[in-house]
């Protein structure tokens, strides 16, 4: 995910009209990119101001920023004027939207003046109720757990191992995620077979390029009792690659268990196993803290047997250090 895509999709992201996979990709990018996060916060504040201004009792405003852009007749302005109009609107959208907000605020003053005291009491009660609901929702939807991980033993996984083969033609690699470089940039890794965001269903492989010997290797999971696939990768250091491995099809396809692939030995080790099909690690963040490393894992947790309703949990493995059992 690059900044150009994020800035183009920021309005759709705010409107909640992007796909789940694209939403997660943009959300992860905003956590890491200060420039894009600044743009997002500015646009979010403006959006909230407009929505608050248009929220007038007995008056319904059906137009929004996204609907205005969609309503432009592209056939009518297909010879260039439409593009200029869209460009002009995008360039000066803050001025236009601010004017609309002011106008709506002015209109809203009329009913407020007529019954000022009652409206204030009603608004205060609604705000209090809304804040309580938001706090309750926050407490339910975001659960954080911290676990100590001093001298973590990485156990060799007997059931989940990779087979390795050399890739003769690098052009044959397609439908893959962006390449992720190791800290010293000698190795780079990608997941092939699940699309640019790694969210498509299907069996995938891990591909690793070695810039030192100019070779590329494909790591395929050895078939076992269950069908599983790599879904997410991130380098721990110059030799070890975190891999989230889970189910390739169906509802439970957002994440899985966390493994560590030791590239020099081609051995795969289990790092964090949820122990429950309703829980799955979806991503991780490596945090450097005073010479130590913390791993912040984001989990998707299903709340019902039909796997329809879910919430997010955060598990932090503090002072993470790997010791291989063999």
Model pLDDT for residues 230-273, shown as the tens digit of each residue: 999 999 999 999 999 999 987 667 899 999 999 999 999 999 99
Report d(CA 151, CA 30) in Å as an integer.
32
- For the cut 70, the answer to whether the pLDDT of residue 94 exceeds it is no
Residue 89, judged by CB atoms within 10 A of its CB (0-12, 13-18, 19+), counts as middle
Q: What does the pLDDT average to over 27-49?
A: 85
Q: List Cβ neighbours of 25 (8 Å cut-off, separation of 6 or more).
A: 1, 197
- For the cut 50, the answer to whether the pLDDT of residue 174 exceeds it is yes
pLDDT at 162: 97
Residue 297, judged by CB atoms within 10 A of its CB (0-12, 13-18, 19+), counts as buried
Q: Are 65 and 89 in contact (CB under 8 A)?
A: no
Q: For the chain, give every domain's residue range.
A: 3-114, 143-324
Report d(CA 294, CA 171) in Å as an integer.
37
pLDDT at 93: 60
Report d(CA 253, CA 228) in Å as an integer.
10
CATH code reported for the domain at 143-324: 2.40.128.660
pLDDT at 150: 46
Segment (H or E) for 315? strand 310-318
Read off φ and ψ for residue 220, nearest 5 degrees: -110, 135
pLDDT at 63: 46
User: Cα 112 to the chain's mean position, in Å?
Assistant: 41
Q: List Cβ neighbours of 244 (8 Å cut-off, separation of 6 or more).
A: 230, 231, 232, 233, 255, 256, 257, 258, 259, 281, 282, 283, 284
Q: What SS3 state is found at 100?
A: helix
Q: What does the pLDDT average to over 190-199?
A: 90
pLDDT at 9: 82
Q: Are 267 and 293 in contact (CB under 8 A)?
A: no
Q: What does the pLDDT average to over 21-33?
A: 84
Average pLDDT, the chain: 78
Read off the DSSP letter of residue 254.
S
Greater confidence (279 vs 139) lies with 279
Report d(CA 277, CA 82) in Å as an integer.
51
Of 51-65, 137-151, 290-304, where does the model show the most confidence? Answer: 290-304
pTM over 0.85: no
Q: What does the pLDDT average to over 81-102?
A: 57
- For the cut 60, the answer to whether the pLDDT of residue 302 exceeds it is yes
Q: Are 269 and 259 in contact (CB under 8 A)?
A: yes
pLDDT at 115: 44
Q: What SS3 state is found at 179?
A: coil
């Amino acid at each position: 995910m690059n900044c150009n895509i994020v800035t183009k999709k920021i309005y759709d992201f705010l409107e909640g009209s992007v796909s789940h996979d694209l939403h997660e990709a943009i959300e992860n990018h905003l956590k890491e990119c200060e420039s894009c996060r600044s743009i997002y916060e500015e646009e979010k504040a403006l959006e909230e101001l407009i929505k608050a201004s248009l929220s007038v009792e007995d008056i319904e405003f059906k137009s929004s920023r996204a609907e205005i852009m969609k309503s432009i007749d592209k056939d009518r302005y297909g010879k260039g004027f439409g593009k200029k109009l869209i460009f002009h609107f995008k360039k000066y959208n803050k001025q236009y939207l601010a004017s609309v907000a002011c106008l709506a605020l002015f209109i809203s003053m009329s009913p407020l003046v007529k019954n000022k005291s009652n409206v204030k009491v009603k608004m205060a009660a609604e705000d209090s109720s809304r804040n309580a609901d938001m706090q309750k929702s926050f407490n339910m939807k975001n659960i954080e757990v911290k676990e100590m991980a001093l001298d973590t033993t990485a156990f060799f996984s007997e059931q989940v191992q990779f087979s390795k083969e050399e890739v003769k033609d690098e052009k044959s690699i397609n439908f893959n995620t962006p390449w992720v470089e190791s800290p010293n940039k000698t190795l780079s890794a990608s997941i092939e077979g699940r699309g640019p965001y790694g969210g498509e269903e299907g069996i995938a492989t891990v591909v690793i390029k070695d810039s030192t010997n100019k070779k590329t290797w494909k790591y395929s999971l050895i078939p076992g009792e269950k069908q599983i696939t790599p879904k997410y990768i991130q380098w721990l250091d110059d030799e070890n690659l975190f891999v989230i491995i889970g189910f390739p099809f169906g509802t439970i396809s957002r994440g899985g268990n966390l493994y560590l692939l030791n590239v020099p030995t081609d051995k795969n080790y289990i790092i964090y196993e949820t122990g429950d099909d309703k829980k799955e690690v979806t991503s991780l963040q490596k945090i450097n803290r005073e010479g130590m490393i913390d791993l912040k894992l984001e989990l998707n947790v299903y709340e019902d047997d039909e796997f329809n309703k879910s919430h997010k949990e955060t598990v932090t493995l503090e002072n993470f250090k790997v010791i291989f059992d063999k």
